[in-house]
Structure 1
Amino acid sequence: MTHGTRSHEPLANPARRAGGDAVVVGGGLAGVTAALALADAGVRVTLLEGRPRLGGLAFSFQRGDLTVDNGQHVYLRCCTAYRWFLDRIEATALAPLQSRLDVPVVDVARPEGRRLGRLRRDPLPVPLHLGRSLATYPHLSLAERARVGRAALALKGLDLADPALDDQDFGSWLAAHGQSARAVEALWDLVGVATLNAVAGDASLGLAAMVFKTGLLSDPGAADIGWARVPLGELHDRLARKALESAGVRTEIRTRVTSVSRDDTGRWRVEVPGETLTADAVVLAVAQREAHDLLPAGALDAPERLLRIGTAPILNVHVVYDRKVLARPFFAALGTPVQWVFDRTDAGGLRTGQYLAVSQSAAYDDIDAPVAALRERYLPELERLLPGARGAEVRDFFVTRERTATFAPTPGVGRLRPGARTKAPGLYLAGAWTATGWPATMESAVRSGVNAADAALRALGRPRPRHLFDVEEAA
């Protein structure tokens, strides 16, 4: 969190509310969720964020007249907590879901040339809902498709509560269940890299099984894709801030927290430059390394575990063409370094031409590459994938880099992820990296905020808001 000028008057707490006082450190989705849940239960809440905006790692910025998301974020119909969050901030209509899963998949590595396939569902029960799509998927052989079906059934039979799954890697499990390298590339990693931010060989079987069982094998519509048709800042900053204000939360941006400690009375002291806040409860909704640095001694049995939770990068390549080169909202790609491509023209406010965002997860090889090298690498690939881009003028080319975009979902990470409660009464943790059972997604962030708020409300003796998302609802 960076330090700057605060936007409001001094932070000294006014008279304590009967419901207690809470300070939430961090204004990403986890922090905003925790603050809203606590305030809805009658707790007086102050939210502190070091950046000049809310939204954490899902935000927007201006580049001339273009509004740019730092990365393409999507969610699925099974992301029930994030859907609750959108509803809570009155943003559901701005980030609609597909009526039915439909993913165009373009392969440019086949000898016969560019080929289009689709992953889409039918209105049938699980697992028949994907049967026709899999049976006609042109990027796999008939034998590979049959083996994919058998592996999916084996995956459906795994017990997500089995801790042994966390110690295995997904790639080895797939190989043991007859999945070829081509099947991993053309199907399992096509979905898994985007949701886990890791290739199958680097991902925990437990997290991968959770993604595929919940997204593809739980409910016919679970994997329908949703994304914001407006800049993320409209959702996670402006509308979130409006909801916080309506709930009575005091929100302070450009406010860096320097320490968190308990005083002699058992209340919490939160230090910001020049001032001290006191509270009955504190939620640390920041990245794991920052949480480690702010935790007081004894708050966790082994705080060094937080530093052992690795991180994984995401790179986004942004290209503005002088004409329309992509007719569909998005597509995934095979046989090329390009992973997923989204049309962001309307959301970015572009009036002429077309603005595409290329989302590259687990981008270890490219995350520190110079822009010129990335331009040389990706523009020819987009021309291979999009015939309309051949001969089009590139009006702008730039990249956004999130070197620590998510926690790395490596085997064994499950035992490192802490729950919401700490050993220090009144101090709670939130963030997509905490023990939500989900990989590092917007869904995990919201669930963590609910978990932290629930724990704090129980300790404060406050009733749970009736409309608050119930974490137990989701698979």
Structure 2
Amino acid sequence: MSDELLPDGPRTSGRDAVVVGGGLAGVTAALALADAGVRVTLLEGRPRLGGLAFSFHRGGLTVDNGQHVYLRCCTAYRWFLDRIDGATLAPLQERLDVPVVDVARPEGRRLGRLRRDALPVPLHLGRSLAAYPHLSLAERARVGRAALALKKLDLADPALDAQDFGSWLTAHGQSPRAVEALWDLVGVATLNAVAGDTSLGLAAMVFKTGLLSDPGAADIGWARVPLGELHDRLARRALDAAGVRTELRARVTSVSPGGDGGWSVETPGETLRADTVVLAVPQRETYDLLPPGALEAPERLLDIGTAPILNVHVVYDRTVLDAPFLAALGTPVQWVFDRTDASGLRSGQYLALSQSAARDDIDRPVAALRERYLPELRRLLPRAREAQVRDFFVTRERTATFAPTPGVGRLRPGARTKAPGLYLAGAWTATGWPATMESAVRSGVNAADAALGALGRPRPRHLFASEEAAHCIVPGDTPRTPGREPEGTGAPLRGGVR
């Protein structure tokens, strides 16, 4: 290519980009660059798009590798759904409503709910918290005071990243029961770690944005179709329409500066030349592909830990759960989702258990997991006691997310590198969010923005604007601004959630 790579200024006629990785971050970056008129090639080593949010077939069922949900405050992911014409297939609740069942109470199984009213923050959760049966009256009052203290924290304060959330909760009067029944109920599912293992900065971001910013911020959305329909088929269709060349089963072996001032991207069957390269792959793979000097301390990428997620899949011969999902206390079971309709099951019911921070279970044999979880489901769901189990299998993702440990914030790099024309994307980069679909999309936008600025190209008008991140428009409310084969029958399948 004749375009000159300048260290600091824009390149005046850059036209070609290669995006390495076809997860949500890579797809987002590819769409944004193509919408700005850049010629884009997207390379994905697997035979599908979607990264860790994908589907596979098991018999007559279409199974998601893990249950993924999002919140109304996940405005980047909502933009992504709109961009691929998938928003109607993953609708949001009208209002937050989470059934929470405790099976360890002395008086027996007890149901409570976390739901919001159409009132301003923090009154929107006041009635629900006041009636929450899983905490004592004194614990509920102390939760309210801790929430107000959390709301006052400055997310820009770097000191928050060095402190753990559990210690902060203890210092603010939160009992072990309050941590279990409320703070970890939400935090483990969103952060993939218990409070004591979580950076206060990330935890504060989650709770301030999701529960203390806008009344509808925490309303839950999830796909009513298999994830592959959204993140693979519809994403591929959007990429094709945007003019992106998408190559699957294309494993990148090296990325290096080209002799013409651009970049050379090697795959086993092809060498591609580009003005811009976006690495949208996990941190270990990014470290392996980075050319010398691209980051000041690339070894920091290897210091970003990972956390596992286990998903347990159970097919019953009858309906045992009437709600679309529930959360559980007093049991190893965390969250249970009804995936019957989305999977194509014609009779009976298919439940998926999403088990975050699952270090104790991630390597257990299937038989041991069956022995552990089926009795717990019978405790949790009385109708499961008479039901027959037609199928039981698990999906595992041993490195599902980056670990949100104290100090992780200083390890997460931004989109720009020291090598002109080379950018990073992925939920593990410095988006300010934990490892979620929202963080992945934001990272793709950040990488595309940085690349377009360097290329001297205008930003597409409809591209998600990060500075408008926290507009959560709630129907009926006044808009406000806050901010492989499955185990049991074959080879292991790695699964995940978010």
TM-score if structure 2 supplies the norm length? 0.92
One-letter code aligned to 1:368 = D
Which residue, out of 397, 413, 434, partners 2:408? 413
1:135-146 correspondence runs (5 A): 135-146=130-141
1:317 aligned residue: 312
Q: Distance in 1 between matches of 2:143 and 2:261?
A: 56
| Alpha-carbon distance change, 251 to 361 in structure 1, aligned in 2, over 3 angstroms | same
Which residue, out of 147, 163, 174, partners 1:168? 163
1:346-405 Cα shifts (integer Å, max 9, x gaps): 000000000000000000000000000000000000000000100200000000000000
1:294 aligned residue: 289
Which residue, out of 321, 342, 345, partners 1:347? 342
Q: Secondary structure at the match of 1:106?
A: strand
Which residue, out of 369, 381, 393, partners 1:374? 369
Q: Distance in 1 between matches of 2:38 and 2:447?
A: 14
1:64-463 correspondence runs (5 A): 64-463=59-458
How far off its partner does 1:263 sit?
Answer: 1.6
* Contact 1:19–1:44 (CA under 8 A) maintained in structure 2: no
One-letter code aligned to 1:245 = D
Q: Distance in 2 between matches of 1:385 and 1:348?
A: 23
* Contact 1:438–1:444 (CA under 8 A) maintained in structure 2: yes
Q: Secondary structure at the match of 1:359?
A: strand
Q: Secondary structure at the match of 2:18?
A: strand
Q: Distance in 1 between matches of 2:386 and 2:95?
A: 34
Q: Distance in 1 between matches of 2:169 and 2:44?
A: 42
Q: Distance in 2 between matches of 1:178 and 1:280?
A: 55
Q: Distance in 2 between matches of 1:61 and 1:373?
A: 24
1:8-44 Cα shifts (integer Å, max 9, x gaps): xxxxxxxxx9651000000000000000000000000
Q: Distance in 1 between matches of 2:398 and 2:423?
A: 26
Q: Distance in 2 between matches of 1:428 and 1:263?
A: 16
How far off its partner does 1:274 sit?
Answer: 2.8
Q: Distance in 1 between matches of 2:14 and 2:347?
A: 53
Q: Distance in 1 between matches of 2:63 and 2:269?
A: 34
1:62 aligned residue: 57
1:135-180 Cα shifts (integer Å, max 9, x gaps): 0000000000000000000000000000000000000000000000
* Contact 2:13–2:456 (CA under 8 A) maintained in structure 1: no
* Contact 1:345–1:354 (CA under 8 A) maintained in structure 2: yes
* Contact 2:20–2:252 (CA under 8 A) maintained in structure 1: yes
Q: Secondary structure at the match of 2:77?
A: helix
Runs of 4 or more off by more than 6 Å in structure 1? Answer: none
Q: Distance in 2 between matches of 1:263 and 1:58?
A: 34
Q: Secondary structure at the match of 1:46?
A: strand
1:289-320 Cα shifts (integer Å, max 9, x gaps): 00000000000000000000000000000000
* Contact 1:19–1:42 (CA under 8 A) maintained in structure 2: no
Q: Distance in 2 between matches of 1:43 and 1:250?
A: 11
Q: Distance in 1 between matches of 2:50 and 2:33?
A: 18
* Contact 1:53–1:253 (CA under 8 A) maintained in structure 2: yes
Q: Secondary structure at the match of 2:352?
A: strand
Q: Secondary structure at the match of 1:223?
A: coil
Q: Distance in 1 between matches of 2:61 and 2:229?
A: 14
Q: Secondary structure at the match of 1:400?
A: strand
Q: Secondary structure at the match of 2:174?
A: coil
Task: Note the residue ranges of structure 1 that are not aligned, 5 or more in a row.
Answer: 1-16
1:37-69 Cα shifts (integer Å, max 9, x gaps): 000000000000000000000000000101110
Q: Secondary structure at the match of 2:321?
A: coil
Q: Distance in 2 between matches of 1:403 and 1:235?
A: 24
TM-score if structure 1 supplies the norm length? 0.96
CA RMSD for the aligned pairs? 0.7
How far off its partner does 1:111 sit?
Answer: 0.1
Q: Distance in 2 between matches of 1:56 and 1:178?
A: 40
Q: Distance in 2 between matches of 1:233 and 1:172?
A: 40
* Contact 1:420–1:430 (CA under 8 A) maintained in structure 2: yes
- Number of aligned pairs? 459
Q: Secondary structure at the match of 1:158?
A: coil
* Contact 2:336–2:353 (CA under 8 A) maintained in structure 1: yes
How far off its partner does 1:265 sit?
Answer: 1.6
Q: Distance in 2 between matches of 1:104 and 1:428?
A: 42
